[in-house]
Chains A and B, each alone.
Chain A
Amino acid sequence: MLTTQFLLLGAVLFCIGVYGVLARKNAVMVLMSIELILNSVNINLLAFSVRHGSVDGNTFALYVIAIAAAEVGVGLAMVLLIYRNRRTIALDDLSEMKG
């Protein structure tokens, strides 16, 4: 079925996103990976929406897009401030929270 392919695409995107989040040191790249994860979820939602023939999934996807936009806004602002203070956005150097 067509939906299976959509789900597969979603799974691949998710994995790429997770890899990006775990492996990247650049904070902007991490944020972009999170976007990938969110969009893979969106694809999943739409796939199931098509399969069950309802619009619930579409609605949820819209919400997720809005939230993702907000999240990126906040995240980029934080990255910008971190860069101003530290002159770097490498996540390895930001370990003040070490217990």
Chain B
Amino acid sequence: MLAHEMTSEVVASTGWFLEHAWLIPVIPAIAFVLIIFFGKKMPMKGSELGVLSMLSSLVFSGGAAWQWIQRVNSVVDGAHEAVVEGAHHAAPYVQPVIHEWTWWQSGGFHFGIGHHIDGLALTLLVVVAFISSLVQIYSLEYLRGDRRYTHFFAALTLFSAGMLCMVLAPNMVQLILGWEIMGLCSFMLIGHWWEEEANSRAALKAFFTVRVGDMGLLIGTAILFFSANNWTQKNLGVSGFNISGLSAWAMSGEASQSALTWGAVALFIACIGKSGQFPLHTWLPDAMAGPTPVSSLLHSSTMVVAGVFLVARLYPIFWEGMKIGDTNINFIVLIGGITIVIAALLAFVQHDIKKVLAYSTVSQLGYMMMGLGAGAWLPAVFHIFTHAFFKACLFLSAGSVSHSGSHHSFDMKKDMGGLAKKMPITATTWIISTLALAGVFPLAGFFSKDEIIDNVGYGGYNAFMIVGLTGAFLTAAYMTRATYLTFFGEARGAAAGIHHDAHDAHDAHAAVDTHNSHDTHVVDSHDAHADHGPHESPKLITVPLMILAALALTAGLSNATPFGESWERFKKYVEPGSEYVMVGSETADEHGAADEHGAEVVEIAAASMSVASEEKVTKEGCAVVAPEAGMVCYFPTVSHAPFKWSKAALSLIIVALGLVSSWLFCVQYYTRRNKRLVGLTERNKVLRGGYTFLWNKYYLDELYEKVIVRSIAHPIAKAAYWVNQNILDGIVNGAGKVSRRLAGWVYRNIDQRVVDGAVNGSGAAARGTGGALRPVQSGKVNQYGALLFSAAAIGALILVIINT
């Protein structure tokens, strides 16, 4: 009866921004159309539309996030007051704000378009809108004078629209829509300077590699739809595309295990492609061929986290399909773990600063996947959040270096070094972000990455905790190497003011020069380079950098586990609660009349609690005990590792070791040219082999292009050629001969005789009748009148005779 009173108070608040969240992707989509049609005539060539639309999306998502916090507070506080006397209680499930309009309907089969707003969607919405806004502002300067300036902003805006559309998708169809818009736009943006062949190849590679994974998305969606549709229609009245419907189905205990497993595997293959996981990560470093702002947007907060987002969004399916709660190794955690290490190792042998960052991104995505695979949902989502800030900052810093410091080169070994003095702001923001990425204590990366490692171990995946710690060491080491090569040591090449006209052939980014030098504006700035070498970038570049660096410093505090429960805002506002939800309580809730149902919910929850042992409450509730009839679960009960300074200290020491050892090595190797270290890879066979292996990226590209593509595509091409030459041509030639003969016969017999005969005959017949009827047309009116009246008289006579 206590419950009876309290649930009436648990009325989730809502608000204008939450109800109208669908506007967030629609605004940039409209801006895209306007830029395409009117952009070139606008004073700033359409870029102002892009920036404005992203800023308004940011305002809308910020408003929605604020109202979501109110909503969670209203629910949590209401529930809290009620269970003061009860012991533990599963975290209350805050109903997401879902609006769906029918998009397509045929028979009993329909799907909608709309929005599904909850903590996860809002986290991504805010991050995407925020990073997109900053990247667009940065691009105003970075791409000034580019020949396809307007198109660049159009594609960038549409890209953000695609990501936002995907993030708030209430069903799989809209999710696929956003997913594919992003795929298309990434192709356009990576191949922005397509005149250079390497760039268009990179764009194609990105598109096709991701497409390999996309097959999994379609197959997975189909599997889940056909297995879930009956259940969701019966129990929730929604189609099998609906995301919350799918979640509830997966947690219901009535779902077929094989459908869940295969659906999860198929969807995860899509995530492997999109999020650059091993073995489909090869497109991601090549995608650096695009302009730096594109790299920053694609590889920090949008495109590549789409896969991670998909896993996080449909987490119940992966949880049940992969048995995440019960095993200590599964597909997701394995792929994530492999990705962390192989990508981090590759980052050591890169000369291109952006490729270091690309492999770093791949490696960090591995962390997120590993976290999700091991049940550390919240840390993984939090890592998406923090990673977006410091990785965007790193990419934009690299862009700033190439823009103003190294004469549009990205080669750390040839054109950089000693830039810290020349570009103090860029260097500072880079170093802050590097430390954040490495996971140094008060910075953003520590709170998310350490939590992932910690929770992976806590979830029983001990082997992968060691992988995570190894990854942390490697991350610290390769980032130190990149920092040292770029900002410290002696200046080399362009950084020292030396211009070498012929860039290396493989250096696709040199293309920037050749394209831009057509435009007078950029020629000016090039002259400036020639005058006084490297210098600090203008405000439009440094201000976004400073904002991002400030967030890289502080973003981690939004879920600072070490400081206690009150600091864990992400846990409160983003993680869905795992309590049982009464079917249909959603609508009842809004009218504040959920008393009866709500009471039942709590009673059942309380019943399960009494069985629970005090400390392992997590072993009860959703995902452990299937919900009873009329109840659904939307999220599994995930465990949270209690924070211990001893464990954090271990990872901090490892990070410090990575930083220091790498620094010492760099000083010895690159500046002092220590005799024992330099040339070690040439002298030592094992090291040389390892270096060659890494330099060739584990020969994966060769495997794909030379083995798989050749073994599949070449025989197909050969067979197709043979079929073409022998069979198709034979058929075509034979058909030609036969038809020529047939045509001759038809001409002689049918055309000449039948057709022409008919035509001539009808002409002759017409002439004959004409001649016969000529006398009738005398031209005399009286005669015509006589004919008329006699005909009428005859007609009248006939009528009279018939009627009598």
Contacts and interface: CB of A to CB of B under 8 A. Distances in A.
The dominant DSSP class at the B interface is helix
A22 B773 contact: no
Interface in B771-804: 773-782, 785-786, 789
A15 to B, nearest CB: 10
B789 A95 contact: no
A97 B779 contact: yes
A94 B779 contact: yes
Interface in A59-74: none
A18 interface: yes
A22 B784 CA distance: 9
Given A18-B789, A22-B789, A95 B779 contact: yes
Contacts of B785: 21-22, 30
Contacts of B774: 99
Contact of B777 (A21, A92, A94, A98): A98
A23 interface: yes
Nearest to A30: B781
Given A18-B789, A22-B789, A99 B776 contact: yes
B479 to A, nearest CB: 100
B782 A95 contact: no
A91 B780 contact: yes
A92 B780 contact: yes
A22 to B, nearest CB: 5
A96 B780 CA distance: 9
B773 A99 contact: yes
A86 to B, nearest CB: 14
Task: Assign chain B's interface to a size class.
Answer: 10 to 19
A22 B776 CA distance: 16
A3 to B, nearest CB: 19
A22 B775 CA distance: 18
Interface in A1-38: 18, 21-25, 30
A96 B777 CA distance: 10
Q: Which one of B773, B775, B782 has the highest number of Cβ atoms from chain A below 10 Å of its Cβ?
A: B782
A21 B782 contact: yes
A91 to B, nearest CB: 5
Contacts of B779: 94-99
A95 B786 contact: no
Interface in B392-430: none
A57 B792 CA distance: 22
Nearest to B778: A98
Contacts of B775: 99
Contacts of B776: 99
A45 to B, nearest CB: 17
Q: Which one of B776, B778, B781, B786 has the highest number of Cβ atoms from chain A below 10 Å of its Cβ?
A: B781
A30 B786 CA distance: 13
B782 A97 contact: no
A22 B783 CA distance: 7
A99 B777 contact: yes
Given A18-B789, A22-B786, A22-B789, A91 B777 contact: no
A92 B782 CA distance: 8
Interface in B740-795: 773-782, 785-786, 789
B777 A97 contact: yes
A95 B773 contact: no
Contacts of A97: 777, 779
Contacts of A99: 773-779
A94 B778 CA distance: 10
Nearest to B784: A97
B773 A94 contact: no
A91 B780 CA distance: 7
A91 B782 contact: yes
A97 B773 CA distance: 14
Interface in A75-99: 91-92, 94-99
B781 to A, nearest CB: 5
Contacts of A30: 781-782, 785
Contacts of A94: 779, 781
B435 to A, nearest CB: 101
A99 B780 CA distance: 11
A22 B774 CA distance: 21
Contacts of A91: 780-782
Contacts of B781: 30, 91, 94
Nearest to B781: A91
Interface string B439-471: 000000000000000000000000000000000
Contacts of A92: 780
A58 B786 CA distance: 30
A6 B778 CA distance: 37
Nearest to A99: B777
Contacts of A24: 782
Nearest to A20: B785
Nearest to B770: A99
A2 B203 CA distance: 102
A95 B777 CA distance: 9
Contacts of A21: 782, 785, 789
A22 B782 contact: yes
21 contacts: A18-B789, A21-B782, A21-B785, A22-B785, A22-B789, A25-B782, A30-B782, A91-B781, A91-B782, A94-B779, A95-B778, A95-B779, A97-B777, A98-B777, A98-B778, A99-B773, A99-B774, A99-B775, A99-B776, A99-B777, A99-B779
Interface of A: 18, 21-25, 30, 91-92, 94-99
The 10 closest A-B pairs by CB, nearest first: A99-B777, A95-B779, A98-B779, A97-B779, A99-B774, A21-B785, A91-B781, A22-B786, A18-B789, A22-B782
Given A96-B779, A97-B779, 12 more contacts: A21-B789, A22-B786, A25-B782, A30-B782, A30-B785, A91-B780, A95-B780, A97-B777, A98-B777, A98-B778, A99-B773, A99-B779
